[in-house]
C-alpha cells in the first residue's frame, strides 16, 4: 500500500478520506450542539455520555489521529506543490478566475486549526481533560467543568462578545474550507463526472452552509440570552 | 478601416536554463489590431534584428491552434486574455492602445526555460511514452464498425482527445500540476474498448511518470480547465483518479 504515500493521487485520496471522516464528525458535532439551546437537560445527558467514558476517550484519540493525518498530508502536499511551481515566480499576477477558497485551502486550514485549539481549550480541556486528570493534577480542580455545569459554562463563555466574534471568524473560515473541500473529496476519490461535477459543487456548498449555520447559531443564541432577551 | 495601437511590452529575457532572467521593456508603434499576437512578436523581432540586438526566442509552429507548440503567459493568463484560443489565435484587437503587455514563459519545475520564452516540454513526451498509447500488432486494421461504441462515449473520448498538449494547464496551476493533460490522455483511451485493455496499466504508468518528473499534486482549483485553449474538462481528472485508484486497489 506504499502507493498511498508515494503517488500524488494516493496522497490526495488520503486527504479526501480523512476530510470525509472529519466532515461526518462535524455533522455529528453540529447536531449535538443544537440540543444545547433546545433542552439543556438533554445536552447535559449528551455531555455525560461523551464525557470520560472509555469509548469517548478512544473516539477522541482516533479523531486527533485523523486531524493529524489531514494536517501532515496538507503540509507535505503544499510543500511539494510549491516546489513544483519552480524557481522563478510569475511577474504578472495570476488572473485565472477560480474560487478563492480553492486557492487558499492551506491558509484557511490554519485559521480553522487556530480556532480548533481555542475551542479545545474552552471545552475539551476544561471538561474531558480536567475531569480525567483532576485526581492527579491538583491545579485542574479549579477549572474543571462537570457535565452538569455545562450550561453555566456556556453562558459565561458566550456572554463575552469577543469570544463570540472569534468563534464566528473560525466558523466562517470553516465554511470557506468546506465549500471547496466537500465537493473536492468526491473529485479526488474519482466519484465524479461531467453530470455530477456541478451538482456536487452545489451539494458541497449546501452541506458547508448547513454545518456552519448549525455551529454559528449556538454562540449567537447564548450571547443574546446573556443580554437578557426573554424570548430565547 | 484598419485600426492601429501603440503598445509597450514587458518581455522575459533569459539566455539559458541556468542563467538568471529578467524583464525587458520594448515599445511598438502602429501595430494593426488585425495582427495576430505572434505576428506582433515577429514585427518586434525584425525591429530588434535591424537594431543589431538578439531577437526574442519563442515557440510556435502551425499558427492555427492545433499543434500545441505556442505557449506564453500573457498578462496573467496562459495563452492570453482571450478565451478558448491558443496564443497564435490571439489577436491584437484584444489589447488597448497604450497598454503594457507582460509576456512570460510557462513557469513550472516540470518545464525548465530553454531560452527567453521557450520552455522544455519534453516532460509531456515522457509521460506519453510511459503509456499514452495502445499496443497493437502490425497487420490489417480491423473494420471500425466491428466494435460498437456508444455516441456518448465516442463524443467524450473525442473531447478528451482535443488536448493538444500545450502545457497551459501546468502554467495556470498554482501547484504546477499536469493532471489535466495526463487525465485527458488517459481518458481518450479509457473511454474506448480498444483502450480499455491496457487502461489500468496505462493510468499507473503515466501517473508514476508524472510524479517522477516533479509535477505538483492536484488541489481541484480548476484553473487548468479555465485556461485550457481546448476546453478540456476537469471531469477527466476525476476519471483519472478513478482509473488509478481502481487499478491500485486491484493489485
Give the HSE-up count for residue B6: Cα atoms under 13 Å, Cβ half-sphere.
3
Average pLDDT, chain A: 91
Instruction: Work out the pLDDT band at B226, boundaries 50, 70, 90.
Output: very high
What local confidence, expressed as pLDDT, does residue A3 receive? 86
As given in the structure block, the three cell numbers for residue B125 are: 513526451
- In chain B, the residue whose alpha carbon lies closest to the alpha carbon of A11 is B217
Average pLDDT over residues A163-183: 96
Residue A232 pLDDT > 60, yes or no? Answer: no
What local confidence, expressed as pLDDT, does residue B175 receive? 95
Nearest to B176 among A81, A92, A197 (CB): A81
- Mind listing the pLDDT tens digit for each residue in B48-62? 999 999 999 999 999
Angle B10-B14-B16 from CA coordinates, rounded to 5°:
165
Going B187 to B193 to B199 to B202, the CA torsion angle's sign is negative
> Which of A:38-97 have CB within 8 Å of B?
77, 80-81, 83-97
Residue A231 pLDDT > 60, yes or no? Answer: no
CATH topology for A3-82+101-226?
A: 3 helical TM bundles of succinate and fumarate reductases (1.20.1300)
CA distance B217 to chain A (A): 5
What local confidence, expressed as pLDDT, does residue A131 receive? 84
Looking only at the bridges linking them, the beta strands covering B73-74 and B113-115 are unpaired
Among A5, A79, A84, pick the best mutation site for testing chain B contact (most B Cβ within 10 A): A84
Domain ranges of chain B: 4-114, 121-134+149-250
Nearest to A9 among B207, B219, B220 (CB): B207
Residue B237 pLDDT > 70, yes or no? Answer: yes
Please return the burial class of B73, using the count of CB atoms within 10 Å of its CB with bins 0-12, 13-18 and 19+. Answer: buried
Instruction: Report yes or no: A8 and B244 within 8 Å, Cβ to Cβ.
Output: no
Residue B103 pLDDT > 70, yes or no? Answer: yes
Beta bridge partners of B31: B5
Determine, for residues B76 and A94 on separate chains, whether the beta-carbon distance falls below 8 Å: yes
Domain ranges of chain A: 3-82+101-226
Instruction: Report yes or no: B172 and B226 within 8 Å, Cβ to Cβ.
Output: yes
Backbone φ and ψ for B149, nearest 5 degrees, come out as -130, 130
What percentage of chain B exceeds 70 in pLDDT? 100
- The answer to whether A104 contacts chain B (CB < 8 Å) is no
Average pLDDT over residues A213-222: 95
Residue A1 pLDDT > 80, yes or no? Answer: no
Give the HSE-up count for residue B134: Cα atoms under 13 Å, Cβ half-sphere.
15
CA distance B141 to chain A (A): 32
Residue B193 pLDDT > 80, yes or no? Answer: yes
CA distance A49 to chain B (A): 38
Average pLDDT over residues B135-144: 82
- Alpha helices by DSSP H, listed for chain A, are 3-6, 8-38, 40-49, 54-84, 100-103, 105-119, 130-133, 150-158, 161-188, 196-226
Nearest to B244 among A9, A93, A105 (CB): A9
Average pLDDT, chain B: 95
Nearest to B208 among A7, A80, A103 (CB): A7
Instruction: Report yes or no: B147 and B204 within 8 Å, Cβ to Cβ.
Output: no
Average pLDDT over residues B196-224: 95
What local confidence, expressed as pLDDT, does residue A193 receive? 86
Per CB-CB distance under 8 Å, the chain B contacts of A188 are: 218, 220, 241
CA distance A70 to chain B (A): 14
What local confidence, expressed as pLDDT, does residue A229 receive? 67
Among B95, B179, B222, pick the best mutation site for testing chain A contact (most A Cβ within 10 A): B222
Nearest to A24 by CA among A217, A188, A214, A207: A207
- Mind listing the pLDDT tens digit for each residue in B142-191? 787 888 999 999 999 999 999 999 999 999 999 999 999 999 999 999 99
CATH number of the structural domain B121-134+149-250: 1.10.1060.10
ipTM of the complex: 0.89
- In chain A, the residue whose alpha carbon lies closest to the alpha carbon of B171 is A85
Backbone φ and ψ for B168, nearest 5 degrees, come out as -60, -30
- How far apart, in whole angstroms, are the C-alpha atoms of residue A11 and residue B175? 14
Residue A22 pLDDT > 60, yes or no? Answer: yes
Average pLDDT over residues A5-10: 92
Instruction: Report yes or no: A24 and A79 within 8 Å, Cβ to Cβ.
Output: no
Average pLDDT over residues B39-45: 97
Average pLDDT over residues B77-98: 95
SS3 B171: helix
Instruction: Report yes or no: B17 and B113 within 8 Å, Cβ to Cβ.
Output: yes
CA distance A188 to chain B (A): 6
Per CB-CB distance under 8 Å, the chain A contacts of B72 are: none
CATH number of the structural domain B4-114: 3.10.20.30
Q: How many CB atoms lie within 10 A of CB A177?
A: 22
Angle A193-A194-A197 from CA coordinates, rounded to 5°:
70
Instruction: Work out the pLDDT band at B1, boundaries 50, 70, 90.
Output: low
B4-114 against B121-134+149-250: fold identical = no
Instruction: Work out the pLDDT band at A144, boundaries 50, 70, 90.
Output: confident
Amino acid at each position: 500500500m506504499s502507493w498511498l504515500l508515494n503517488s500524488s493521487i494516493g496522497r490526495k485520496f488520503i486527504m479526501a478520506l480523512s476530510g470525509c471522516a472529519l466532515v461526518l464528525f462535524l455533522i455529528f458535532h453540529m447536531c449535538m450542539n443544537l440540543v444545547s439551546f433546545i433542552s439543556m437537560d438533554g445536552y447535559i445527558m449528551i455531555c455525560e455520555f461523551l464525557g470520560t467514558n472509555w469509548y469517548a476517550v478512544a473516539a477522541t484519540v482516533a479523531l486527533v489521529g485523523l486531524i493529524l493525518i489531514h494536517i501532515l498530508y496538507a503540509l507535505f502536499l503544499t510543500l511539494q506543490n510549491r516546489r513544483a511551481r519552480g524557481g522563478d515566480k510569475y511577474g504578472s499576477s495570476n488572473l485565472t478566475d477560480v474560487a478563492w477558497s480553492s486557492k487558499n485551502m492551506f491558509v484557511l486550514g490554519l485559521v480553522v486549526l487556530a480556532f480548533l485549539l481555542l475551542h479545545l481549550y474552552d471545552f475539551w480541556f476544561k471538561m474531558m481533560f480536567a475531569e480525567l486528570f483532576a485526581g492527579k493534577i491538583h491545579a485542574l480542580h479549579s477549572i474543571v467543568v462537570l457535565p452538569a455545569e455545562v450550561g453555566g459554562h456556556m453562558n459565561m463563555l458566550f456572554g463575552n462578545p469577543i469570544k463570540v466574534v472569534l468563534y464566528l471568524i473560525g466558523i466562517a473560515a470553516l465554511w470557506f474550507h468546506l465549500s471547496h473541500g466537500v465537493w473536492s473529496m468526491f473529485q479526488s476519490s474519482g466519484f465524479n463526472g461531467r453530470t455530477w461535477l456541478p451538482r456536487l459543487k452545489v451539494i458541497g456548498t449546501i452541506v458547508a452552509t448547513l454545518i456552519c449555520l448549525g455551529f454559528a447559531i449556538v454562540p449567537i443564541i447564548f450571547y443574546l440570552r446573556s443580554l437578557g432577551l426573554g424570548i430565547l | 478601416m484598419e485600426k492601429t495601437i501603440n503598445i509597450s511590452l514587458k518581455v522575459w529575457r533569459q539566455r539559458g536554463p541556468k542563467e538568471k532572467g529578467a524583464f525587458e521593456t520594448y515599445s511598438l508603434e502602429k501595430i494593426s489590431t488585425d495582427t495576430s499576437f505572434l505576428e506582433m512578436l515577429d514585427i518586434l523581432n525584425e525591429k530588434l534584428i535591424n537594431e543589431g540586438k538578439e531577437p526574442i526566442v519563442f515557440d510556435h509552429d502551425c499558427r492555427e491552434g492545433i499543434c500545441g507548440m505556442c505557449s506564453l503567459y500573457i498578462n496573467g493568463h496562459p495563452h492570453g486574455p482571450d478565451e478558448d484560443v491558443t496564443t497564435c489565435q490571439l489577436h491584437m484587437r484584444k489589447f488597448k492602445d497604450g497598454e503594457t503587455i507582460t509576456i512570460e514563459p510557462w513557469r513550472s519545475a516540470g518545464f525548465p526555460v530553454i531560452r527567453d520564452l521557450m520552455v522544455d516540454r519534453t516532460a509531456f513526451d515522457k509521460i506519453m511514452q510511459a503509456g499514452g498509447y495502445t499496443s497493437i500488432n502490425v497487420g490489417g486494421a480491423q473494420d471500425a464498425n466491428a466494435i460498437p461504441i456508444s455516441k456518448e462515449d465516442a463524443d467524450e473520448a473525442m473531447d478528451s482527445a482535443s488536448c493538444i498538449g500545450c502545457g497551459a494547464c501546468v502554467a495556470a496551476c498554482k501547484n504546477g500540476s499536469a493532471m489535466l493533460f495526463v487525465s485527458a490522455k488517459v481518458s481518450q483511451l479509457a473511454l474506448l474498448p480498444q483502450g480499455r485493455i491496457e487502461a489500468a496499466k496505462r493510468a499507473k504508468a503515466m501517473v508514476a511518470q508524472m510524479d517522477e518528473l516533479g509535477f505538483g499534486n492536484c488541489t481541484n482549483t480548476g484553473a487548468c480547465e479555465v485556461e485550457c485553449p481546448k476546453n478540456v474538462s476537469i471531469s477527466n481528472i476525476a476519471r483519472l483518479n478513478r482509473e488509478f485508484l481502481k487499478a491500485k486497489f486491484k493489485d
